[in-house]
């Protein structure tokens, strides 16, 4: 590493193919890159070029067809609490209140109920939704 900074994210030989009819569609063709600590990176490209596919692989929601992604030197094989992803589509459970949507993640980690409630309350307050915590997504005011 010429600059002395170690790779935070290393993408090595990543390809992604999806089965389609009588063949495959290649969404990603051999991606190799390194993102170092404190670097700011943007993925820019035309619709359908593989940006979201690459992000889903880095987040651990998809596995590459070939290659690997390492974060802090550890191979990514599934989602983890060391990474996050903001979805471009509506990603709330419409049958759950704001508070229950926020509590979903901590509940999946099987934290004690009191801890789940504390975390949900903290994040409701953090995003300024105290007045709307017990409303459903469809009942929230438009931004």
Q: Is residue 60 part of a domain?
A: yes
Task: Give the C-alpha distances (Å, rounded to integers) separating 4 from 37, 40, 84.
Answer: 10, 17, 26
- First CA to last CA across the chain, in angstroms? 45
Q: Is 130 left (phi over 0), alpha (psi -120 to 50) or beta?
A: alpha
Give the tens place of pLDDT for each residue, 91-134: 788 899 999 999 988 988 889 999 999 999 999 999 889 999 99
Q: What share of the chain is helix, strand, coil (3-state, %, to 5)?
A: 30, 25, 45
Residues 66, 105 within the same domain: no
4 band by pLDDT with thresholds 50, 70 and 90: low
How long is the chain? Answer: 143
Ordered DSSP codes for 18-87: EEETTEEEEEEEEEEEEEETT--------TTSSHHHHHHHHHTSS--SEEEEEETTEE--S--TT-----
* Alpha-carbon gap, residue 90 to 67, rounded angstroms: 30
Residues 20, 71 within the same domain: yes
Number of domains in the chain: 2
Instruction: Please determine, for residue 1, whether its predicted confidence score (pLDDT) is greater than 60.
Output: no
Q: C-alpha 39: how far from its chain's center?
A: 18
Q: Is residue 50 part of a domain?
A: yes
Q: Is residue 110 part of a domain?
A: yes
Domain that holds residue 111: 98-138
How confident is the model at residue 2, as a pLDDT? 53
* Alpha-carbon gap, residue 99 to 133, rounded angstroms: 5
pTM above 0.75, yes or no: no
Give the tens place of pLDDT for each residue, 22-75: 889 999 999 999 999 889 899 998 988 999 999 999 999 899 999 999 999 999
Q: Is residue 2 part of a domain?
A: no
Q: Is residue 54 part of a domain?
A: yes
How confident is the model at residue 89, as a pLDDT? 66
Mean pLDDT of the chain: 88
Report which of residues 81 and 2 the model is more confident about. 81
Q: Is residue 88 part of a domain?
A: no
């Amino acid at each position: 590493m010429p600059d002395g900074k170690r790779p935070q994210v290393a993408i090595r030989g990543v390809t992604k193919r999806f089965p389609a009819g009588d063949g495959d569609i290649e969404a990603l063709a051999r991606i190799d890159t390194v993102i170092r600590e404190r670097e700011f990176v943007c993925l820019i490209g035309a619709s359908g070029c593989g940006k979201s596919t690459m992000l889903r692989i880095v987040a651990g929601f998809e596995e590459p067809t070939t290659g690997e992604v390492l974060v802090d030197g550890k191979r990514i094989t599934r989602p983890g609490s060391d990474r996050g992803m903001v979805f471009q589509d509506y990603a709330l459970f419409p049958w759950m209140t704001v508070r229950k949507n926020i509590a979903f993640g901590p509940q999946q980690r099987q934290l004690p109920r009191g801890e789940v409630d504390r975390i949900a309350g903290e994040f409701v307050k953090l995003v300024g939704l105290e007045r709307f915590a017990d409303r459903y997504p469809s009942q929230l005011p438009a931004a």
